[in-house]
Chain A
Amino acid sequence: MDVRFAAALEAIVGRRHALTTPQEIRAYAYDGGVDRSLPLAVVLPGSTEEVAAVVRACCERDMRFVPRGAGTGLSGGAIAAGDAIVISTARLCRILEIDAPNRIALVEPGVVNADVSAAAHPHGLRYVPDPSSMAACTIGGNIAENSGGLHCLAYGVTSAHVLGIRIVTPDGDIEWLGGKTVDTPGYDLAGVFIGSEGTLGIATQAVLALSPIPETVQTLLGIFDSTDAATAAVSAIIGRGIVPGALEMMDALATSAVEADVGAGLPTDAAALLLIDIEGLRDGLEGTVDAVASICRERGAREVRIAQDGPQRDLLWKGRKSAFGAMGRISPDYYVQDGVIPRSQLPAMLRDVAAAGTKHGLRIANVFHAGDGNLHPLILFDKQKEGEFDRALAAGADILQACVARGGSISGEHGIGLEKRDCMPLQFTPEDLSFMDRLKSAFNPDDRCNPGKIFPTGRRCGESARTAKSGTLDERTAALAGEPF
């Protein structure tokens, strides 16, 4: 990298917070997905003003930049595609204010998701969106991906819990989109910034809405001998007008991995498990719990367990939250997909997923947000075996195709990033995409902020940058050869 540019960055953030050596920046080449690429440098600004100064320095030298939180995004959104620096929010990690009477929190983007609820807890409040990655992922990443969580079924995903975002625009200005109050006049730019995958600017502060902690919660475990029965129960619960706090599903393969990993006491001989939270006032809760339990039984649950106490409940949820990581117990590598379909299509869709596994000769585990119809097929493979990685990508593409065919979407919460950009034409016409592109140009006309993400490049869905051998991307990435996948 140009030494004068490096010096300029150091002058802004301080020497310690500008990383350029391969050892230092290695960890920034990866976000848990299938793509990887080293940035030219990584800077860690300590304030909104420093972010703006870094962005302006980039503009002056026509340098591109990628905002990055914890790097758990899975779709390649937080890695540099081509020559770019990474702007990490790791030092922007303060909770600036918990305003309990107004039920809001003012936080910096590098704050870890779970820390917000922890800080709000003494006030009887919580920050509802709770992705399984909540112990690591950041609010900035959550905003960029419009992240969902286990409890978003009843209360809505990230966008329902963000009132305002302070951003540094791709040309280095500082603006507030929305604010501390509702319905700020003018276009709802916060609404469109959320879920824009870091392509419209860098969030440097956010006003989050906090919600009351329910008085009580009961957790049910529905144990089924067929996935069809379990998915039918999901539709029946929602169809009966009950919207549980959380409604998650795991199939046998996922359960066996979880059991091997954390030992949550889940039955490994069941075809499918439903994990259901019913929340609310103590009074009347039992009625809802009974109704859900009997719906499960009507649809063929062989057993419905109710967690007896907090520790038991936490153990069940720990099992669910550790499911991705647990795949390591049963497979050297896995590739997670993130399609969404109407809930009523779940039974048929799970058959599509299984068919994709059979077709490509790979095992696929399922653990997902059933209540939302948001699938997470975990395609298991061994990258050491010739061709398996390519087959995993092909199976993923088949699954996405099936999601769109069933009236759904190619991403529920992990975003498009690099990984799925060439799948966008499955779901959107050229006119749709050009409309989005024009919207992007209003914020990011030179594609300097998180370049190369979301929009298709003309390759086939399922051909990741890693397999497509795309020039500079691969050259630098070659330096990573031999790293664990």
Chain B
Amino acid sequence: MKRTKVLRSIPFDLSLRDALGERLRVLPDDCARYRVSGVTPKSVALPRDAKETALALEAATAEGAIVVVRGAGTKSHRLPPPRTVDVVVDTSSLDAVVEHAAEDLTITVGGGTPLVKLESVLRARGQFWPCDAPFAASATVGGTIASNAHGALRLRYGALREHVLGAQIATPDGALVRTGARVVKSVAGYDSHKLMTGSFGTLGVIVEATLKVAPLAETENIVVGRFRSAVTASAIARAVAASPLFPLAIVLVDDACARRVGALLAHASTGSWLLLVRCGGNRRSLARQVSDLTKACEATGADSVNVLDHAATPRAWSDIRELTGGAPYDAERFIVVKTTSLPTDTPAAIADSRNRWPAAELSAQPGSGVVYAHIPVSDLGQPADPNGEAPHVEPLTRAYRRAGWSATILSGPAASSTASQLFLHAAAPPPYVTAPSAPTRLFRAVKAALDPAGTLDPGRQPGGV
């Protein structure tokens, strides 16, 4: 994509200032707080509504400026860093609850609405958005959708995109478009809002989203089984996921992750794995689930099986959902790598991560084939064995391609990007993603069609899109 205009340094041309007035910040102190993977933007736009957001984008595009969209900034450590950032568009003022149609199980909110706000509005009516994304304390709805950051509830409720029914999107040319609808089912036109999931703000800005919500289970428990082997625990997870017990979520954590969850402290033990099965239903259904799960764990040699009760479950889960690269993993100190594979390969993916990054804290969704490795930066480049020999690890890119797995670096300190490249053994080009057969040509075509000027954070998506 050729950029037609070269941006002059700040202060901006009049159009952006005209569009935003006071809502455009250019003071160095303001900008410093909005760093994107170490890169300080030249300005920050704080639109108050959808229209101002569209105006900001239109003006930025007209000036040939590069825009990075930001919700609460919880994913501001995505790698690789942008080459340059002219404007950060902060969506946090777009935080209105537009309509909660409780009896229709839908809610429409501004893209900048914090998850905490959404969740408390829903909880008041016995509902929730079944997308247990990390950074629950600060992340926004739009940012969560844009980063496709969902958790283990996908096992029962499906992918995040299933819980977005429609959206209003501000496009780089300053239009406001709607896609989807405010009803639970619609095939009128393309589901362009589904394209927004995982697009990291590179195709448009989600200024409003209609979400599909679900009723909270009458009562919930978490069954905690402790195992010496991740292989055994994963096998149980797969069997349970395929059984009529059909739990809400299954998570497997190593002892380091477990120690980050208050409710699990008592159950963690060095070298062990905890299998966490969240189940819900009415009392009798729940009792049956808990009893079957307990038996299944015991029959396969669990060291211990415990149950977190209905009172303990919400708190415990709010900690557990963070173990997917969330709050405990300060991006200055950890690199977070997400691996996806077939569920039957999860134990191998876990073993591979352990081998590659011995000090990593590992969590997994063994029923869905997802592994998160939280690698202490201090561990990188350090030889694993005490004799100072570099470990004999097959380059990640090659190993993963052969196995048909994908790996993505979710976050890390900007300064470590060289290191990141190193530990992926250089073969994975920025943005440090390896996937067996990505349709890169189509990614490019979609980007060129929806953001022809390359306004929105170009070059950082898989394939350098």
B392 at the interface (CB under 8 A from A): no
Counting chain B CB atoms within 10 Å of each CB, the highest count among A124, A187, A189, A343 belongs to A187
Residue of A145, A374, A409 with highest tally of chain B CB at under 10 A? A409
A177 at the interface (CB under 8 A from B): yes
A435/B104 in contact, CB under 8 A: no
Chain A proximity of B394: nearest CB distance (Å): 19
Cα(A145)–Cα(B185), bound, Å: 11
- In the complex, what residue of chain B is closest to A407 when comparing beta carbons? B182
Tell whether A194 pairs with B191 under 8 Å between CB atoms, given A214-B244, A215-B244, A411-B186.
Answer: yes
Q: Is A348 an interface residue (CB 8 A)?
A: no
What 0/1 readout, one digit per residue, does chain B (425-451) give for beta carbons within 8 Å of chain A? 000000001011111111101111110
Q: Does A255 contact B (CB under 8 A)?
A: no
Query: Are A238's CB and B103's CB within 8 A?
Result: yes
Question: Which residues of A are found within 8 Å of B449, using beta-carbon distances?
Answer: 438-439, 441-442
Q: Are B175 and A435 within 8 A (Cβ)?
A: yes
Give the most central of A104, A189, A342, A412: most B CB within 10 Å.
Answer: A342
Interface residue A479 (Cβ < 8 Å from any Cβ of B): no
Q: Which of A144-191 contact B (CB under 8 A)?
A: 145-146, 148, 152, 155-157, 159-161, 169, 173, 175-177, 179-189, 191
In Å, the complex CA distance between A438 and B181 comes to: 19
- The size class of the interface chain B forms with chain A is 35 or more
Check: B1 CB closer than 8 A to any chain A CB: no
- The distance from the CB of A326 to the nearest CB of chain B, in whole angstroms, is 24
A48: CB under 8 A from chain B?
no
Within 8 Å of chain B (Cβ to Cβ): is A347?
Answer: no
Contact B442 A443 (CB under 8 A): yes
Partner of B245, one of A175, A281, A412: A281
Contact residues in A for B369 (Cβ distance below 8 Å): 102, 181-182
Q: Is the CB of B178 within 8 A of A439?
A: no
- Inter-chain contact A432/B177, CB cutoff 8 Å: yes
- Cross-chain contact of B171 among A100, A159, A435 (Cβ < 8 A): A435
Contact B287 A283 (CB under 8 A): yes
* Closest A residue to B202 using CB positions: A187
Rounded to whole angstroms, the CA-CA distance of A438 and B461 in the bound complex is 20
Residues A185 and B189 in contact in the complex (CB < 8 Å), given A432-B178, A439-B195:
no
Please indicate the chain B residues that have their CB under 8 angstroms from the CB of A57 in the complex. Answer: none
A213→B342 CA distance, assembly (Å) = 21
Which A residues are CB-close (under 8 A) to B236?
none
Interface check A118, CB cutoff 8 A: no
Q: Across the interface, do B192 and A192 meet the contact criterion of CB distance under 8 Å?
A: yes
Do the beta carbons of B241 and A191 come within 8 Å of each other?
no
Q: Does A373 have its Cβ within 8 Å of any Cβ on chain B?
A: yes
B167 to chain A, nearest CB (A): 11
Interchain CB contact under 8 A, A435 and B177 = yes
Cβ of B384 < 8 Å from any Cβ of A? no
With an 8 A cutoff between CB atoms, is B370 at the interface? yes
Q: Is the CB of A239 within 8 A of B102?
A: yes
The answer to whether B286 has its CB under 8 Å from any CB of chain A is yes
CA distance in complex: A424, B190 (Å): 12
Residues of B within 8 A of A145 (CB): 187
| A-chain residues with CB within 8 Å of residue B203 when the two chains form the complex | 187
- Residues in A with CB closer than 8 Å to B161 are 159, 188, 191
B187 x A439 contact (CB < 8 A): no
Residues of A within 8 A of B245 (CB): 212, 281
Tell me the chain A residues, 204-263 only, with Cβ under 8 Å from chain B: 211-215, 235, 238-239, 241-243
Find chain B residues with CB under 8 A from A454 CB. 189
Chain A residue at minimum C-beta to C-beta distance from B368:
A182
Interfacial residues, chain B to chain A (CB-CB below 8 A)? 101-106, 126-127, 148, 154, 158-159, 161-162, 169, 171, 175-179, 181-192, 194-195, 197-199, 203, 214-216, 218, 238, 241-246, 281-289, 338, 340-344, 368-370, 404-406, 408, 433, 435-443, 445-450, 461-463, 465
What would 18 A/B residue contacts be, using CB atoms closer than 8 Å?
A175-B441, A179-B437, A182-B159, A187-B195, A187-B461, A188-B161, A192-B191, A211-B246, A243-B214, A281-B244, A283-B284, A283-B285, A340-B186, A342-B101, A431-B177, A432-B179, A432-B189, A439-B446
The 9 closest A-B pairs by CB, nearest first: A284-B285, A191-B194, A241-B215, A284-B284, A409-B186, A283-B288, A215-B244, A442-B449, A175-B439
